[in-house]
Amino acid sequence: MRITRNAIATMAGPSAWFTGTVYIDPVAAPSAASRVQASSVHFTPGARTAWHTHPNGQTIYVTEGVGLCQRRGGPVEVIRPGDRVFFEPAEEHWHGATADRFMTHLALLEVDADGNSATWGAHVSDEEYGQQPG
């Protein structure tokens, strides 16, 4: 038996990138040989990302709770455990928890040649967040 101990502290999501309280656990970090980055992201009720894009796209895979996501110009969509969402490269979007449930997803992407994972924009307003899911 071999146990690999969990050694990296949970980080709070920066307020420039998120509304509400979000915690991030690193799962995989880019290295010289690999651009893969993976995180487990924990959203408290009402918490969500700001609008943003990813240079090479992103997959999120919901593991707990009930969440919401939206691409610019599309309806708000409800996402549940086992659902996965791919956001195209440069597709503007946000993701987060519903107002009354926690939501956790794995986030998987490839950083660009400079190590950037995302470009961040405006926060998702309460009006945008409160739209009835499509």
Task: Return residues touching Mn ion (CB under 5 A).
Answer: 58
121 close to 52: Cβ distance less than 8 angstroms? yes
Burial classification of residue 57, based on how many CB atoms lie within 10 Å of its CB (0-12 exposed, 13-18 middle, 19 or more buried): middle
Q: Shortest approach of Mn ion to residue 58 CB, angstroms? A: 5
Q: Which CB sits closer to Mn ion, 2 or 92?
A: 92
Cα-only R_g, the chain: 15
State the burial class of residue 47 (Cβ atoms within 10 Å of its Cβ: 0-12, 13-18, 19+): buried
Question: Judged by CB, which is closer to Mn ion: 4, or 49?
Answer: 49
User: What's the min distance (Å) between Cβ of 113 and Mn ion?
Assistant: 19
Q: Closer to Mn ion at the Cβ: 85 or 99?
A: 85
39 or 58, CB closer to Mn ion?
Answer: 58
What is the rounded CA–CA span in Å between residue 118 and residue 110? 10
Residue nearest to Mn ion (CB): 58
| Min CB(72)–Mn ion separation in Å | 12
Amino acid at position 46, single letter? G
For residue 6, the minimal CB distance to Mn ion (Å) is 24
* Cα dihedral across residues 111, 105, 48, 80: positive or negative: positive
Which is nearer to Mn ion, 80 or 109 (by Cβ)? 109
- Cβ 49 to Mn ion shortest distance, Å: 6
